[in-house]
Structure 1
Amino acid sequence: MQKLLSRLRKAIVDFNLIQSGDKIAVGLSGGKDSITLLHLMKTYQRFSPEPFELIAITLDPGSGSNFDGMIQMCKDLDVPYYLFKTRIQEIVFDIKKEKNPCSLCANLRRGALNDNAKKLGCNKIALGHHKNDAIETLLLSMFYEGRINTFLPKTYLDRVDISLIRPMIYIDEEHIKTLASKYKFPIVTNPCPADGFTKREYMKNLTYSLEKDIPGLKNNLLNSLSNTEQLNIWFKEQKES
């Protein structure tokens, strides 16, 4: 726990993720990542030099999942918990019948989370993206879109006047798995029919495979995202008329 807290704090300091008086909603999906984030944020709140409020928000996609374990967990942590029912699963799979559902599902979840957090008076939403997620997003963008891109540690959404923060970007997924297992987190099984059959899942498996042959691969890729002094990309020159 201490090692993960240290990396969480480093990300918060490096990217100025938290200011005094913030009201932060943790997007609590029920997976290992978001539950770990909630525990780390609650622990960090106790010694943070910037006092801030913390709540948890869960979106029920309409899958019939049982959230009782998370409700009790938030009570034990003394974190206000809000559960919002949605029709996301019905819209994506029954009404739209999406063959590639991830993009639409993500957009619907993102919009619902942003709107509900704003209604609850939050100015920030903390998401459980970790180091592996950043790397996988980078490689997906390069391999499938031909661009160098990944999510930012902090993003301001002017439409809803709210900021997204990702305090776990320095934390490896393996350490999250270890913590979740050690503390027996009440993980909610992912109800998505597409879970485990996506391009992201392929990229995840690829990076784990490459790490065996190239030790330090994930750290090098992560470091490249902030190595602006050695960024060498091609700029096409405009001919003078």
Structure 2
Amino acid sequence: MMLSLEKDFYLESLRQSYRKKIWRKFIKGIKDFNLIEDGDKIAVGVSGGKDSLILCKLFQELKRDKSKNFEVVFISMDPGFSKEDLLDFKENLIKLKIPCEIFGSNVWDVAFREEPDNPCFLCAKMRRGVLYNKVEELGCNKLALGHHFDDIVETGLINMFYAGTIKTMIPKVNSTSGKLTVIRPMAYVKEKDIISYMNKNEISPMGCGCSVQSGEKDSKRLEIKQLLSELEKNNSNIKQSIFNSLRNVNLDYIMGYTKGNKNG
């Protein structure tokens, strides 16, 4: 897929107004976790929301920068968007000059039919499977997702509070099929800066479109977001502390763990 190298207002904004808060953190994430290597063919998963849209622009700027020799394609799975949401999505793609292939699926129909009270787990599992298959069909060896700093922090707490385990999203991991690598280049980028970029550049990203994310059903992630917002009132650095703790685990003080035997 060919990318236009002509002047792009949205790319210039990343390099200038958001150079420190977004661009440099994107580059730092790539370097720290060795996310992109010469010869990679990377598929960027585009949901239509703010995170995936800015990830597309970051990859376009990185491609224009020519510091890495890689291929990139932009793909989006339509899990059952409304006609209005899909139209808004396509208009944003045109506005932002993102050449994205949209392919259909019946993920939402199946997830809400099989698990009407709590469809999120099945939905996420199915979306991953469909997306992974598409990426493999395209001959890509990596899939880039738009998860950011806040997602990593929130996922860590969700797993601690509701799953009884200490784990979170990591910037680089093999897919369940083992045929491709999933990367999250925005691991250091904060959500508030993404929102700021969107507002400054008058971009109206598409919402998730499902009833869970729109607040019609219970959302554990929303609960965690609200909790963190309250905690930040007394400790503005709390998210950074949680993020750091997920990288700085002292195994000598984890219950049931002894060196050479993870199960104690």
**Normalized against structure 1, the TM-score is what?**
0.90
Map 1:79-118 onto structure 2 (within 5 A): 79-93=98-112, 95-118=113-136
* d(CA) in 2 for partners of 1:89, 1:112: 12
Which letter does structure 1 place at the counterpart of 2:108? Q
State whether structure 2 residue 4 is matched by structure 1 residue 5: no
What is residue 244 of structure 2 aligned with on the other side? 223
What is residue 200 of structure 1 aligned with on the other side? 221
Unmatched runs of 5 consecutive residues or more in structure 1: none
Deviation at 1:25, TM superposition (A): 1.1
Deviation at 1:186, TM superposition (A): 4.5
Map 1:1-241 onto structure 2 (within 5 A): 1-3=18-20, 4-65=22-83, 66-71=85-90, 73-74=92-93, 79-93=98-112, 95-157=113-175, 159-195=177-213, 196=215, 197-228=218-249, 232-235=253-256
Unmatched runs of 5 consecutive residues or more in structure 2: 1-17
Deviation at 1:61, TM superposition (A): 1.2
* Contact map agreement 1:42 1:77 (CA 8 A) in 2: no
**Normalized against structure 2, the TM-score is what?**
0.82
Summarize the Cα distance change of 1:158–1:62 in structure 2 as closer, same or farther, 3 Å threshold: closer
Deviation at 1:158, TM superposition (A): 5.7
Which letter does structure 2 place at the counterpart of 1:189? G
* Contact map agreement 2:62 2:68 (CA 8 A) in 1: no
Deviation at 1:80, TM superposition (A): 3.6
CA RMSD of aligned residues (A): 2.1
Deviation at 1:67, TM superposition (A): 3.4
1:162-190 Cα shifts (integer Å, max 9, x gaps): 11000111111100101111122241232
* d(CA) in 1 for partners of 2:81, 2:118: 18
Deviation at 1:119, TM superposition (A): 0.7
Which letter does structure 2 place at the counterpart of 1:86? S
Summarize the Cα distance change of 1:31–1:199 in structure 2 as closer, same or farther, 3 Å threshold: same
Equivalent residues, number:
237
